Structure 1
Amino acid sequence: MPPALLDMAPRPFLLTQGRTQAHSAAIAIETQVVATDHGLATCAHATFERRDIVEVCREPLSVAEIAARLGFHINVVRVLVGDLYTDGLVVAHLPEFDASRDVATLRRVIRGLRAIS
């Protein structure tokens, strides 16, 4: 992206209205997110970032994958997914185990992040 366009990109705190957490749900980076039928039907009326998240979640994706695909900061995605979840535009499936302490999961995340670059 040319430097002039980088200066025009909205700052993360503008996308989340200064919030660092969603209003309701605690959204982890491994949370699986999928768009609802309602979300897909109404996403054309959403802001750009929210619409992009709903569109990319036609198939289940983790919050980390959404951030990587859309080029958004992961904490921005966590806040926006929480808002979309509250509004019924996406469904969030939290894992049953603590993935942050699971070595195999952490290795898969590292491999996935390396593959993106």
Structure 2
Amino acid sequence: MLTAGRVAGSGAAPPLPVETQIVATPDGLSALRSLAFERRDIVAACRRPQSVAELAARLHLHLNVVRVLAEDLCAAGHLAVHVPNAGTVHDISVLRRVIDGLRAVPDSRGSLRDSG
């Protein structure tokens, strides 16, 4: 329902990588009151840059839902998306930082650290 049946990467572009950094734009922050539900939550949570994976964990949303909504919000000018270059994607330290960021997200259902 949140994505109207759309899936990430269904267009010409592949889905946003999980390590992609997204941040709210000034226009996005100005439009917060006019945005509904998850879109508003995503823009509000992106006052500081964070990865797609961190955002999905923080908001308790499925990763592909965040990908689709982030693409929509970017197209509307509410988010800026920074896809890391290919060398960064294969850098193990980036993966470790993403994992550490996910572990730092509070989880009301239990600690992410307990899951692996």
What TM-score do you get using the length of structure 2 for normalisation? 0.77
The 8 Å contact of residues 99 and 106 in structure 1, kept in 2 or not, is answered as: no
Aligned residues: 104
Q: In 2, Cα distance between the equivalents of 1:96 and 1:112?
A: 20
Shift of 1:108: 3.0
Which residue number corresponds to residue 45 of structure 2? 56
Identity %: 51
Q: In 2, Cα distance between the equivalents of 1:59 and 1:24?
A: 28
Which residue number corresponds to residue 96 of structure 2? 107
Tell me which protein shows more helix as a share of its residues.
1
Q: In 2, Cα distance between the equivalents of 1:105 and 1:32?
A: 11
Which blocks of at least 5 consecutive residues in structure 2 are unaligned? 106-111
- Judge which range, 25-34 or 51-60, deviates more: 25-34
What TM-score do you get using the length of structure 1 for normalisation? 0.76
The SS at the match of 1:15 is: coil
Q: In 1, Cα distance between the equivalents of 2:25 and 2:12?
A: 18
Which residue number corresponds to residue 75 of structure 1? 64
